[in-house]
Amino acid sequence: MSEAQTLPQLTQLIYDVLREELLEVDDSFTPQSDLVEAGLDSLGLTQLLLTIEERTGTWVDESELTPENLESAQALAQCVLAALG
């Protein structure tokens, strides 16, 4: 069973993982903050995708990792939701 099934749930999941495990950010970091500007690099992105897969059962194909889909936790959540079908 998927841990996160709605856009708000996926957004919160991604935001929490970024904030608590992958990035060193302050209180100005929000679900709408730019992930690359916040310091997300390729290693962090791989770790994030593995966590998403572990918690949702869905892998996001690398072809989906466009600059638009990495604009924010919310944008990435929309991408994951589309992959969930």
CATH, residue 28: 1.10.1200.10
CA 64/CA 52 separation, integer angstroms: 14
* pTM exceeds 0.85: yes
The verdict on residue 18 lying in a domain is: yes
In the chain, helix, strand, coil percent, each to 5? 55, 0, 45
CA 40/CA 29 separation, integer angstroms: 12
The verdict on residue 1 lying in a domain is: no
Domain count, the chain: 1
Rounded percentage of the chain residues whose pLDDT exceeds 70: 95
Coil/strand/helix, residue 34: coil
Q: Residue 19: which domain range?
A: 7-84
What is the Rg, in whole angstroms, of the alpha carbon atoms belonging to the chain?
Answer: 11
The verdict on residue 12 lying in a domain is: yes
Instruction: Mark out the alpha helices in 18-72 (DSSP H runs).
Output: 42-56
pLDDT at 84: 85
The verdict on residue 2 lying in a domain is: no
The verdict on residue 39 lying in a domain is: yes
pLDDT in tens, 28-56: 999 999 999 999 999 999 999 999 999 99
